[in-house]
Structure 1
Amino acid sequence: MRIGIVCPYSWDVPGGVQFHIRDLAEYFIRLGHEVSVLAPADDDTPLPPYVVSAGRAVPVPYNGSVARLNFGFLSAARVRRWLHDGRFDVIHIHEPTSPSLGLLTCWAAQGPIVATFHTSNPRSRAMIAAYAILQAALEKISARIAVSEYARRTLVEHLGGDAVVIPNGVDVDFFAKAEPNPEWQGDTIGFIGRIDEPRKGLPVLMRALPKILAARPQTRLLVAGRGDEKEAVESLPAELRSRVEFLGMVSDEDKARFLRSVDLYVAPNTGGESFGIILVEALSAGAPVLASDLDAFAQVLDQGAAGELFANEDADALAEAAVRLLEDPARRAELQERGSAHVRRFDWSTVGADILSVYETVTAGAAAVAADDRPSGGGSGLRARLGLARD
Structure 2
Amino acid sequence: MKIGIVTPTFYPYPGGISEYVYHTYFELRKRGHEVKIITTFFGDGLTEFEENIYRVGRSIPILSNGSIGRVAFSLQLPKKIKRILDAERFDLLHIHEPLVPTLCLISLRHSRTVNIGTFHTFAEFSLGYFIFRPFLRRYNKKLHGRIAVSESARNFVDRYFGGEYRIIPNGIDIDRFNRVGKIKKFDDGKLNILFVGRLEPRKGVKYLLKAFPLIKKKLPNSRLIIVGSGPLAGYYRQFVPRAFEEDIWFEGLVTKEDLPSYYSTCDVFCSPATGKESFGIVLLEAMASGKAIVASDIEGYRHVVTHGQEGLLVKPRDSRAIADSIVEVLSNEPLRRMLEENGKRKARQYSWKNITSRIINFYHDKMKVASVH
TM over 0.5: yes
Equivalent in 239, 242, 247 of residue 238 of structure 1: 242
* Residue 238 (structure 1) shift: 1.1
Equivalent in 133, 138, 141 of residue 140 of structure 2: 138
* Residue 72 (structure 1) shift: 5.3
Which amino acid is 1:333 matched to?
A: R
Equivalent in 114, 120, 123 of residue 122 of structure 2: 120
Aligned to 1:26: 26
Which amino acid is 1:61 matched to?
A: L
Which amino acid is 1:20 matched to?
A: Y
Alignment of 1:166-245 (within 5 A): 166-185=168-187, 186-195=190-199, 197-227=200-230, 229-245=233-249
Deviations 1:114-134 (A, max 9, x none): 000001113222211111111
Can you give the 5+ residue segments of structure 1 that lack an aligned partner in the other structure?
370-377, 379-391
Aligned to 1:385: none
Equivalent in 316, 324, 334 of residue 330 of structure 1: 334
- Identity rate, percent: 32
TM-score (norm 2): 0.94
Aligned to 1:100: 102
Q: Secondary structure at the match of 1:67?
A: strand
Change (3 A) 1:10 1:174: closer
Write out the 4+ residue segments of structure 1 that deviate beyond 4 Å after TM superposition. none
Equivalent in 310, 313, 316 of residue 309 of structure 1: 313
Aligned to 1:360: 364
User: Are 1:264 and 2:268 matched, yes or no?
Assistant: yes
Can you give the 5+ residue segments of structure 2 that lack an aligned partner in the other structure?
none
Which amino acid is 1:16 matched to?
A: G
Deviations 1:121-172 (A, max 9, x none): 1322221111111111111100000000011101211111130100001111
Q: Secondary structure at the match of 1:106?
A: helix
What RMSD in Å do the two structures reach over aligned CA positions? Answer: 1.6
Deviations 1:305-344 (A, max 9, x none): 2111111111110011111111112211110111111111
* Residue 80 (structure 1) shift: 1.1
Query: Separation in 2 of the partners of 1:43 and 1:297?
Result: 32
TM-score (norm 1): 0.90
* Residue 184 (structure 1) shift: 3.0
Query: Separation in 1 of the partners of 2:38 and 2:186?
Result: 37
Deviations 1:176-199 (A, max 9, x none): 23223343343000011112x111
Which structure is higher in strand share?
A: 2
* Residue 230 (structure 1) shift: 4.0
Q: Secondary structure at the match of 1:99?
A: coil
| Alignment size in residue pairs | 368
Aligned to 1:159: 161
Aligned to 1:12: 12
Q: Secondary structure at the match of 2:317?
A: coil
Query: Separation in 1 of the partners of 2:154 and 2:81?
Result: 27
Query: Separation in 1 of the partners of 2:102 and 2:179?
Result: 37
Aligned to 1:148: 150
